[in-house]
Amino acid sequence: MTTVGVDAPGAEKAWDNEGRYVPPPASIKPRKKGFVPPWRNPWRRPYVLATITWGYILWSLVPVLIAVQFSFNDSRSRSSWNGFTTAWYCCGTEEGSIAEGTSVFGAGANDTLLNALQNSLTLGVITTLIAVPIGTALALGLTRWRSRTSNAANAVSLFPLVTPELVLGSALYLVITTLYTQIGLGRNALILGHVTFSISFILVIVRGRLVSIGNEFETAAQDLGATRMQAIRTVLLPMLVPAIFASAMITFAASLDDFVVSNFLFGDASQITVPVLLYSAVKAAPSPALNALATLLLVGTMTALLLTYVVLRLRRRGESGSALDDLAGVEM
Amino acid sequence: MPFDPSSTDRAPQWRPQLRRRDVLRGGAFAAAGLGVAPLLAACGGDDDGGTPAGGDGAYPLARPDAPVTLPIFDDNQPIAAGQEPEKVDALRVLNYADYMAPGVKKDFQKKYGAEVQVTPYNNYDEMLTKISAPGAEFDVVFPGPSVMSRMVYGKLLQPFQQSYLTNLTNAWPEYQDPWYDQGSQYSVPYTVYTTGVGYRSDIVTDPSEGYQMLWNPDYAGKMGILDDAGEALGMAMLAWDITRDINTGDPEAINAAKEELNKLIPLGVKVDITQYETLANGKFHVHQAWSGDLVAARWYLAQGVTTEDLGYWIPEDKADVVIGNDNICIPKSSPSPVLAHAFINDLLDNTIAEKNFNWNGYQPPLTKLDADYLIEGGYISENLMSAVVVPEDFESGIKFYEQTPAVENMYLAAFQDFQSGGS
Amino acid sequence: MAVAEATKGGQKDAATRFLWPALAIPGTAWLLALFVLPFYGIMAVAFSSQLDILGQPIPAWNPLEWDFAVMRGVIDQSINGSYRSAWEHTFIYAAIAMALCVLIGYPVAYYVARLARGNRGLLLALILAPWWINYLTRMLSWVGILGDEGYANDIIGFFGFAKVDWLGGQWYVVVIALVYGYLPFFIVPLYAYLDRIDQHLIEASRDLGANTFRTFFRVTLPQSRIGLITAMVITALPMFGDYYTNTLVSNSPTTVMIGNSIEGTIQSGFSRGQGASLVLLLSAVLLFFMAYYLILTLRASREAR
């Protein structure tokens, strides 16, 4: 039978005049099921991109794993592997132990390393305790305040985020050594510096959350009889808790990892933090004890990250979207 | 303010009142492309010749033939005698890195209960910045003679309470009354050293090239110079016979020295003070070094390398050798001065000093620990005899003197130019 | 009462009218004292005219006493003198590093945002991880690997080639180290933006006959333009002020960046004025980039409306 409009040989209608299905003649063989050459298949698996991505991830993370590996190296070298030992962590007391006098913990320890670790952790905690309330209050105030001065304050608050730390560090160094001499370099200066750059992080995170929450819940609460203060306290703040918590963890991690501002403000060896110690020691006399210290710091920040993920995930239980997305969005 | 007239007869003076027009007359500064720093330094006073900023007036620059007695100011008197050392957690020391034996620090901690915390610096410029920054308090600092006057007149150091320093008599007589600090009021000596070229004798073929070993392309990528403007530029001056006066204020000489250093940049020169380790582990084959570095290198030897493979070159004629010393002083703002005195007194003790020398390799100028004693003690191997310093060397050697800030800024600016990539 | 007050559309009751400003004041005061004032301090040091006994500049807090000699000198040296190579290196390294970041980072961000199916959570975690690892630790690992006895030279030696002195002042090592260090900061914001591109637009483009490349260049790329530029700005700004990367993997006068010059001069005594001037110059350069970025985003958000 011929059909209107179809030219291809063998392309006959699939139904006959009574509407019954007519299978195609056996001479027409179907192509191998589902095979389309990759370059013509728009829905193919993205091999190239996947390779690039996994390649990047390996390139990004394997060196760090190697550094962790060398923290267990049984020789003073940081580049040639000689065997496994935990001497660099603890305790370096035996005579002849390669880590004698230079391990992180233990009786045979190098006090500088442990001191640096303690300084870093203390500084991180104090910074978080000070920065989070100030930053959250600033976020609340700026987002809800509707006047021209608030726009100016807005702009000022975002600048620390985009200023390179070198500029911030030099500026603080100069002003603390000339104007704020009562404060002087050292722990107090470090706290001031760390809080200053943390406030911007917290501002961005909490404000992002505030904007996405919007006014409705508070207005609803007020419609139901709450005063403004009650509405804020019982409705808004609880909704902000994940953002506040995430910003606290990020502040802690940023403070632990901060190098430039700490390098300018630490003053003397008693206030040295881990990143500054790593930097100066790499230039002088690096040993695997540095790798051990770096690994411990890594464990610290990873714990903070894990904690954030778990808490976000618990709060998100039952809701769509992954906590990781939250975190990534929060990073913005 | 008190000012000892006997010290001003022949010692050069620095009056911080150079006016702009004085410097503009010396247009050579700018022409030599040394940067604006010397101009600025010279503009320290205003054109009316009024009170110079920050300076207390003229201060004498000490010279060996014009010794200086540093003044003791009314508001900077020595502490009272007969007190007990303070009970604190830490004794804060400002010093070069790896310059004090860990054993000595641990012993001190056991004896007095205070941990010895060392904040390191690379050169005197950094040291001055750290010690003058508000808030960072140090108990002991290790400057050299070339910054003494400035630190004393800048009220950065406090005079000693001599009754605490009973061991000062152990030191060489020359150092109990040195030319830069007559009467040892503010300083006691810590180490003496010469500056030369350290090299790996198993790799370097012709050590008699001397300073010019560093310019030999055979060692490209494996050589370094000291991170100190005076030392580096001075060595360049001596290496290429630019001038024998490494304290010169002649901008042309400094510029010529800088040009010579610039020739090292294509050879991959590194600038640091870790040669005690890097010569021993083979990272560098030649490096400008202080004598003590080679003695200390034996602690850092790589596998298969022995002290026989190390060498230290200095000029044959003792009169051409660059020689110097480091001092120990107490900063004015020290929170535990009595403890600091006790620490310094300990460092002057023969046994403790020997223990310290065993580790850091730098000779302490103590009478008992003379060259023979140290050689017999096995501290110095045959091939490193050139690293030994004797008191007679100080009569003749070339020393670094304290300079006016203007001259010093020329050196610092030139070195900074070199470090920024050479121009 | 409370209900009546609350329904007065938009009006605040007296007790809380000052609530929001009051909350904002501690933070603003802190930033004024510790961010804005220090910038003024930089200008005071850069434009000072007097030195103290140690040769350090005494800040000139009164603008009438400002003296621009040092600043002019630094600008001279930057155009034609000792700081010129530092500026050149910084711009060139940052440009090359940014190009590499885009070439590597965009595909990765695109894949993770749009194409990774089941693995997405894992991939996201792995991408985020470097953000939380100390920058110095990551560089430290490379110093270990690129050392004379490190794995890099081991592998090269295995294939029979001569050892390379990676850490001896090679500019390409510095550039690659910069890319390594800053790529995570590039990928994450880009990921967040690429996530938001509407899949339907891409499908529509495909349906209309465009192949992969045309779809990408005509649809995806323009949509992600703002995200790309945001990511570039977030990465480039810190890169300009970077000095520790150069010191860790090279530490040679041949690869000096402007950050090294600033660090060296600020922390020494005599050249502190020069350092402050360099900081001002750097801030000017970065403000220029920031302004460009702000104009672009404003224009884009206006178009989007």
Q: Minimal CA–CA distance to C105: which of C287, C227, C199?
A: C227
pLDDT at position B50 is 25
Model confidence at B23: pLDDT above 70 = no
Which amino acid is located at A261 in the chain?
Answer: V
Lowest mean pLDDT among B186-190, C100-104, C124-128, C294-298: C294-298
B–C interface: beta-carbon pairs under 8 A: 129
pLDDT at position B405 is 83
pLDDT, tens digit, 9 for 90 and up, residues B263-319? 998 888 888 888 888 898 888 999 999 999 999 988 888 778 888 899 999 998 888
Lowest mean pLDDT among B119-123, B365-369, B418-422, C289-293: B418-422
Distance separating alpha carbons of residues B183 and B177, to the nearest angstrom: 5
pLDDT at position A151 is 63
pLDDT at position A307 is 83
Residue in C closest to A257 by C-alpha: C134
Model confidence at C189: pLDDT above 70 = yes
Torsion of CA C117, C120, C121, C125, to 10 degrees: 160
3-state secondary structure chain C: CHHHHHCCCCCCCHHHHCHHHHHHHHHHHHHHHHHHHHHHHHHHHHCCCEECCCCCEECCCCHHHCCCHHHHHHHHHHHHCCCHHHHHHHHHHHHHHHHHHHHHHHHHHHHHHHHCCCCHHHHHHHHHHHHHCCHHHHHHHHHHHHCCCCHHHHHHHHCCCCCCCCCCCCHHHHHHHHHHHHHHHHHHHHHHHHHCCCHHHHHHHHHCCCCHHHHHHHHHHHHCHHHHHHHHHHHHHHHHCCCHHHHHHCCCHHHCCHHHHHHHHHHCCCCHHHHHHHHHHHHHHHHHHHHHHHHHHHHHHHHHC
Alpha helices for chain A (secondary structure H): 47-70, 111-144, 148-162, 165-178, 187-213, 216-223, 228-231, 237-257, 260-265, 274-283, 288-315, 323-331
Q: Which residue has the tokens 């480091």?
A: B326
Burial of C144 (0-12, 13-18, 19+ CB in 10 A): buried
Q: Contact C267/A173, CB-based, under 8 Å?
A: yes
Q: Give the nearest partner residue to B128 out of C54, C169, C260, using CB atoms.
A: C54
pLDDT at position B30 is 30
A–B interface: beta-carbon pairs under 8 A: 57
State the pLDDT confidence band at B36, using cuts at 50, 70 and 90: very low
User: DSSP characters for B300-342?
Assistant: SPPTT--GGGEEEE--SSGGG-EEEEEEEBEETT-S-HHHHHH
Distance separating alpha carbons of residues A163 and B225, to the nearest angstrom: 35
pLDDT at position B409 is 86
| pLDDT per 10-residue tile (average), chain A, 332 residues | 50 78 78 67 77 92 91 79 80 58 69 87 95 91 72 67 88 90 88 93 85 82 84 84 87 90 89 89 77 87 81 64 52 41
Q: Contact B90/A183, CB-based, under 8 Å?
A: no
User: DSSP characters for B231-287?
Assistant: HHHHHHHHHTTS-S-TT---HHHHHHHHHHHHTTGGGT-EE-S-HHHHTTTTS-SEE
Which domains, from first to last, does chain A contain?
111-331 (1.10.3720.10)
For chain B, give the mean pLDDT. Answer: 83
pLDDT, tens digit, 9 for 90 and up, residues C257-280? 999 999 988 888 788 889 999 999
pLDDT at position A124 is 94
pLDDT at position B51 is 26
Model confidence at C244: pLDDT above 70 = yes
pLDDT at position A316 is 65
Span B406-418, average pLDDT: 89
Model confidence at B422: pLDDT above 70 = no
Q: Is B120 on the interface with A (CB under 8 A)?
A: yes
Torsion of CA C226, C228, C231, C237, to 10 degrees: -90
Q: Is C84 on the interface with B (CB under 8 A)?
A: yes
Percent of chain C residues past pLDDT 90, beyond the cut: 26
Q: Is A109 on the interface with B (CB under 8 A)?
A: no
Cβ(A328)–Cβ(C125) under 8 Å? Answer: no
Q: Is C63 on the interface with A (CB under 8 A)?
A: no
Q: Contact A284/B98, CB-based, under 8 Å?
A: yes
pTM: 0.83
For A279, what's the count of Cα atoms within 13 Å in the CB-facing half-sphere? 22
For A251, what's the count of Cα atoms within 13 Å in the CB-facing half-sphere? 36
Task: Return residues 228-287 of A near C (CB < 8 Å).
Answer: 228-229, 253, 256-257, 259-260, 264, 274-275, 278-279, 282-283, 286
Q: Contact B133/A269, CB-based, under 8 Å?
A: no
pLDDT at position A12 is 66
> Helix, strand or coil for residue A289?
helix
pLDDT, tens digit, 9 for 90 and up, residues B311-352? 999 998 888 899 999 999 999 999 999 999 999 999 999 999
Beta bridge partners of A21: A15
Q: Contact B134/A269, CB-based, under 8 Å?
A: no
Probe site for chain A from B88, B121, B131, B137 (most A CB atoms < 10 A): B137
> Helix, strand or coil for residue A20?
coil
Which domains, from first to last, does chain C contain?
22-67 (no CATH), 84-304 (1.10.3720.10)
pLDDT at position A222 is 85
Span B351-373, average pLDDT: 90
Q: Give the nearest partner residue to B98 out of A182, A267, A285, using CB atoms.
A: A285
Task: Return residues 180-239 of A near C (CB < 8 Å).
Answer: 192-193, 195-196, 199, 203, 219, 222-223, 225-229
Task: Return residues 13-52 of B near A (CB < 8 Å).
Answer: none
pLDDT, tens digit, 9 for 90 and up, residues C163-177? 777 887 889 999 999
Q: Contact A181/B134, CB-based, under 8 Å?
A: yes
Alpha-carbon distance C159 to nearest alpha carbon in chain A (angstroms):
18
pLDDT, tens digit, 9 for 90 and up, residues C6-33? 444 444 555 566 777 788 888 889 988 9
> Helix, strand or coil for residue B46?
coil
Model confidence at C67: pLDDT above 50 = yes
C-chain residues near A172 (CB < 8 A): 34, 38
B interface with C, Cβ–Cβ < 8 A, is 16, 33, 35-37, 39-41, 43-44, 53-56, 125-126, 128-129, 132, 150, 153-154, 221, 265-266, 268-272, 282-283, 405, 408-409, 412-413, 416-423
Residue in A closest to B275 by C-alpha: A284
Which domains, from first to last, does chain B contain?
90-191+323-396 (3.40.190.10), 193-318 (3.40.190.10)
Distance separating alpha carbons of residues A292 and A67, to the nearest angstrom: 9
C-chain residues near B281 (CB < 8 A): none
Cβ(C121)–Cβ(A316) under 8 Å? Answer: no
Q: Identify the H or E element spanning B30.
A: helix B28-31
The reply to whether omega before B329 is within 30° of 0 (cis) is no
Probe site for chain B from C45, C47, C48, C54 (most B CB atoms < 10 A): C54
Angle at Cα B217 formed by Cα B213 and Cα B221, nearest 5°?
A: 95
Distance separating alpha carbons of residues A263 and A277, to the nearest angstrom: 9
Higher pLDDT, A126 or C151: A126
Distance separating alpha carbons of residues A259 and A166, to the nearest angstrom: 10
